[in-house]
Structure 1
């Protein structure tokens, strides 16, 4: 819980009573690898803060292929915020790529913080902007060759290559797993 409080305090000040309220509104959750934090065709109902682990955003294209769009790791919020706020079904999945430990707020508790804590909306907006930026960071530029895309991935996510399945990385890069293995072998 302390990781969450440290994160929040980067964006504004809370007194002891407000911090206790935030702690009271949140619950710690374990998510097994491959479990979903939120699913396509369902209305997102919670906001999470990743304490440990990696969650990926993914969807199915019109050919039925699974596409990894983003990775979100420790000390980050994770939520499909546009659909969460609009109360509309999501078009993508947020899935645990590794076992994850999260601190989670229900929609009701998340909104309650806005009604109770003066200044919470400013803090929340700053956190959500970063969350949305991380999720919207475009994947690799497909016009680049696959090796360049992989090197760019390694620069942006240095700790992920040994933590998430290669199939997810290949999907993110827009290459087959065999191509990714060949690229990795040639780089070493």
Structure 2
């Protein structure tokens, strides 16, 4: 059950057997069924969640009731409402499962104790946070500087196979355009490949 998270962590820090045992003792297994919420806007995000298996989306709902996807999370990704988790305040985002999903979770008190007892985990989570921040910056730059077609092609290249797992209307929401517009882009791409 812990192989994927330990391989993920092992990309950034080396752990002794006792540190592995301590880390895994803090993790909680969570099974989410398709369409089940991990966290809902207004609730407090109590766990930082690592995706062992499955696919989730994080989104917010605007004042008009429209959903806006801000993140997908698949195997070996962390997900949840980070601000809510860190501050233990109300979540701004919803996170739900697009597929049956298996997660490993850690609560904030356990994470703080992990930092204290195994300080190298502060390095691990700093690197993960930095990568997430850089990814968010790149997404902002792409949104304001790339054409819709370029954003779609970048999405396909950056997240291979995700377009086969996620409904097209959610990809359109993530990219910031309508499902009809995404359909036109996909048709254009298909005709160019012929």
Tell me which interval the TM-score lies in, with the shorter structure as reference length: 0.7 to 0.9
Distance 1:25 1:127 in 2: 19
Alignment-derived partner of residue 168 in structure 1: 170
Alignment-derived partner of residue 125 in structure 1: 126
Alignment-derived partner of residue 159 in structure 1: 161
Alignment-derived partner of residue 187 in structure 1: 189
CA spacing shift, 1:21–1:178, aligned 2, 3 Å: same
- 1:102-133 CA distances to partner (integer Å, 9 max, x unpaired)? 11112232222123224332223223333444
Distance 1:136 1:42 in 2: 27
CA spacing shift, 1:98–1:53, aligned 2, 3 Å: same
Alignment-derived partner of residue 70 in structure 1: 71
SS in 2 for 1:83: helix
- 1:129-160 CA distances to partner (integer Å, 9 max, x unpaired)? 33444566526526644333322221222211
CA spacing shift, 1:178–1:59, aligned 2, 3 Å: same
Q: Which structure shows the higher helix fraction? A: 2
**Matched-pair contact (CA < 8 Å) for 1:51–1:102:** yes
**Matched-pair contact (CA < 8 Å) for 1:70–1:135:** no
Aligned pair count reads: 188
Q: Which runs of 5+ in 2 are unaligned?
A: none
